[in-house]
């Protein structure tokens, strides 16, 4: 009896997940460039961490300085959300632009995943240690990857959809 109930619960959970996944995929495919730009959170920008943000990888701040400039967990959360949006922008560009470098798209996907994992680790550490050394190091690593992802995204747009670059730069 219990085994049957667990099997039914597992099948229902999988079915619900599949419905959710299908709706999410439809919503993602129906997005416009403008709706993606509108989802970028401009409350905090990595411009504070790099002189060449959006054009060149790398930070011009120390981990301690970066933590202060990113306003702690607030900047981390913005990076977490914007990494997902930039991933969707890369998917949009690969779908709507011809000749997009598949390796670049995969790199952007990997960047987004790594940024999100790094941010989650930093936020979890922050919850327990309140900006200890480990938190600042993970935040710095996430910020470095974030600036690199933004620079690669800008390059992708310059190469395949130059008219979209000013809107992207303004939103970031």
User: pTM, whole model, 2 decimals?
Assistant: 0.76
Per-residue pLDDT of the chain (172 residues; tens, 9 = 90+): 788 888 888 889 898 988 888 887 777 667 787 888 888 888 777 776 776 666 666 676 778 888 888 888 888 999 999 999 988 888 887 887 777 888 888 899 899 999 999 999 999 988 887 767 878 888 888 888 888 888 888 888 888 777 777 887 777 7
What is the pLDDT, as a whole number, of residue 51? Answer: 66
Contact between residue 51 and residue 147 where contact means Cβ atoms under 8 Å apart: no
Long-range contacts of the stretch 57-60 (C-beta < 8 A, 24+) = 57/144, 57/147, 57/148, 57/151, 58/144, 58/147, 58/148, 59/140, 59/143, 59/144, 59/147
What is the pLDDT, as a whole number, of residue 81? Answer: 93
What is the pLDDT, as a whole number, of residue 114? Answer: 93
What is the pLDDT, as a whole number, of residue 104? Answer: 87
Contact between residue 136 and residue 163 where contact means Cβ atoms under 8 Å apart: no
Q: So where are the chain's domains?
A: 1-30, 32-171
């Amino acid at each position: 009896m219990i085994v049957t109930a667990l099997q039914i619960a597992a099948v229902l959970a999988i079915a619900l997940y599949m419905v959710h996944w299908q709706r999410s995929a439809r919503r993602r495919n129906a997005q416009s460039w403008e709706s993606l730009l509108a989802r970028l959170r401009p409350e905090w920008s990595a411009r504070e961490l790099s002189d060449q943000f959006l054009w060149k990888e790398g930070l011009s701040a120390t981990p301690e300085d970066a933590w202060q400039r990113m306003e702690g967990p607030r900047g981390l959360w913005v990076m977490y959300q914007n990494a997902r949006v930039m991933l969707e922008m890369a998917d949009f560009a690969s779908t709507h632009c011809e000749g997009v470098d598949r390796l670049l798209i995969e790199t952007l996907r990997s960047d987004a995943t790594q940024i999100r994992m790094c941010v989650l680790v930093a936020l979890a550490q922050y919850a327990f240690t309140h900006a200890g050394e480990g938190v600042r190091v993970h935040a710095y690593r996430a910020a470095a990857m974030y600036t690199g992802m933004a620079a690669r995204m800008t390059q992708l747009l310059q190469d395949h959809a130059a008219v979209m670059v000013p809107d992207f730069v303004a939103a970031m």
